[in-house]
Amino acid sequence: MSQEATVTHQSAFRKLKRRPTMQYFTYSEPFPLESGAVLPGFTLAYETYGTLSPKGDNVVLVPHALTGDSHCASHFPGDEPGWWEGFVGPGLAIDTERYFVICSNVLGGCQGSTGPASIDPRTGKPYGMRFPMITVRDMVRAQRELLRFLGIERLHAVVGGSMGGMQTLEWAVAYPEMVGAIAPIATPGRSSPQSIAFNEVGRQAIMADPNWRGGDYYDGEGPDRGLAIARMVGMITYQSDESMWRKFGRELMHAGIDEIYSFSTQFQVESYLHYQGKKLVERFDANTYLYLTRALDLFDLGRGRGGLKQALSRIRVPTLVVGISSDILYPPYQQKEIVSILRECGVDARYEELDCPYGHDGFLIEATKMTEILKGFFQSIPR
Which residues are known to be catalytic? Answer: 162, 327, 360
75 close to 21: Cβ distance less than 8 angstroms = yes
Tabulate helix, strand, coil % of the chain (nearest 5).
40, 15, 45
The H or E element that residue 259 is part of is none
301 close to 189: Cβ distance less than 8 angstroms = yes
Tell me the residue ranges of DSSP E strands in 96-180: 100-104, 119-120, 125-126, 157-161
The number of helices, as runs of H, and strands, as runs of E, in the chain is 13, 14
CA 342 – CA 315 distance, rounded (Å): 8
206 close to 223: Cβ distance less than 8 angstroms = yes
- Alpha-carbon separation of residue 304 from 45, 138, 301, 311, 341 (angstroms): 30, 14, 8, 9, 18
- Phi and psi at residue 166, to the nearest 5°: -60, -45
Q: What does the DSSP assignment read for 186-247?
A: S--SB--HHHHHHHHHHHHHHHHSTTSGGG--TTS---HHHHHHHHHHHHHHTS-HHHHHHH
The strands making up 42-49's β-sheet, listed across from edge to edge, are 23-27, 42-49, 100-104, 59-61, 157-161, 182-185, 319-324, 349-354
How many CA within 13 A on the CB side of residue 33? 18
Tell me the residue ranges of DSSP E strands in 55-111: 59-61, 88-89, 94-95, 100-104
How far the first Cα of the chain sits from its last, in Å, is 34
